[in-house]
Structure 1
Amino acid sequence: MGDISARRQRILQSPPPELVAEAAANPGGSVAEIDPDYIGDPNGFIPGEAVQGVWIVGPDGKLTGEFMENPDYGPPKDDFAKLTESDHWLAWIGDDPVQALRDSITNCLTGQDPKAVLDWVKILDTPRYLTGARRDPGHDDQIIVTRAGLTLSFALSVTASKREVLTGTFSWVAVRLDEPADRKDQIWLDLWTDLDWAETELRNRIYLVGRPAPEPES
């Protein structure tokens, strides 16, 4: 802690130009100090745990000398709250939807590079869902779910030859849920895409999974 305090004191005595510029651009606000070991592109997604704290900026756009520590600073962790807080039916994914999703994302990454290690993944927004069903012929007031899909936006850190922080969308579709022996699942991991785009794609994908492949043109 002493070394950290001494370093920050040196920063205050001779603040780097980029810190001065950020302070000038945020009068009356604050400027975050970010641990570069926990991020990829400095202009990309920054997990909250990577923020060591913030320098307080006075109304004149200059550093006040006050530094507020981030109590959550440290190695970033998984965050699936946007999924688990949803009341949507997820039993089709399995008994542990969080682990199933994490394993599926890991499989996508290792499919590209067998040495890839998923450090952490965070769900950024409430997932979007689609469900298809038919009426139960024996019970007019009940339905039988035949297909289901979800798509979610994420940020994740993956380490192979180097650490990268990626963002995008992950989608999962399962069909023939009423015929477990013939069930078919398909997943997609689309980098640098947004949730609205993925939701539109999901509306098509949920009806494409399980269809026979088109005959090649002669």
Structure 2
Amino acid sequence: MDDFSLLEPSAHMLAWLSDDYQAAVRDEILNALRKQVPGSTLEALSVTSDPQWLTGAIPSEDDPDKAILVRTGVAFEISLVVQEPSGESHHLEGVYSWVGVNLNDAEAVQQRIWFDIGGKLLEFGSAGELAARMYFA
């Protein structure tokens, strides 16, 4: 069973990255796990911290009092249970980071995710690696 309740207050911000952020997070994690062990299944996924956000904007040409969002990044701690095809289960914890850039140009949007197993927000959150990851492209 999945638990994304700690992300619900940020749902409007996650919409910048995906219309269905829960499915997107789950799918990205499962794809990463299957690259390591093909055939793995994701049995449970829980967000275990409040998200930390960073954003970047440029001034609006039409209104100097407004800004246009061009990049955003979020990091949060997760806990998951993955099962190998052999039936063996593993409990993993870490930080999931998701960055989108060129958000003001639908044809140029790029996104990237990171899953830092064993990581904590102190190292990978807004005061850590997330700041550098905002400029991956």
State whether TM-score is above 0.5.
yes
Sequence identity (%):
35
Kindly report the root-mean-square deviation, in angstroms, between the aligned alpha carbons of the 2 structures: 1.3
TM normalised by structure 1 equals 0.58
SS at match of 1:177: coil
CA contact (8 A) 1:93 1:100 kept: no
From 95, 106, 115, the counterpart of 1:189? 115
Q: Whose RCO is larger (CA < 8 A, sep 6+)?
A: 2
Q: How many residues align?
A: 133
From 118, 127, 134, the counterpart of 2:51? 127
CA offset at residue 88 of structure 1? 5.7
TM normalised by structure 2 equals 0.91
The list of structure 1 runs, each at least 4 consecutive aligned residues, that deviate by more than 6 angstroms after superposition, is none
CA offset at residue 91 of structure 1? 1.5
Structure 1 or 2: larger strand share? 2
User: 1:183 & 1:85 partners in 2: Cα distance?
Assistant: 24
CA contact (8 A) 1:118 1:157 kept: yes
Q: Corresponding residue for 1:206?
A: 134
Q: 1:114 to 1:87 in 2, by over 3 A?
A: closer
User: 1:138 & 1:167 partners in 2: Cα distance?
Assistant: 45
CA contact (8 A) 1:86 1:126 kept: no
Q: Corresponding residue for 1:114?
A: 38
Runs of 5+ unmatched residues, structure 2: none
Runs of 5+ unmatched residues, structure 1: 1-76, 211-218
Please tell me whether Structure 1 or Structure 2 has the larger radius of gyration of its CA atoms: 1
Q: Corresponding residue for 1:11?
A: none
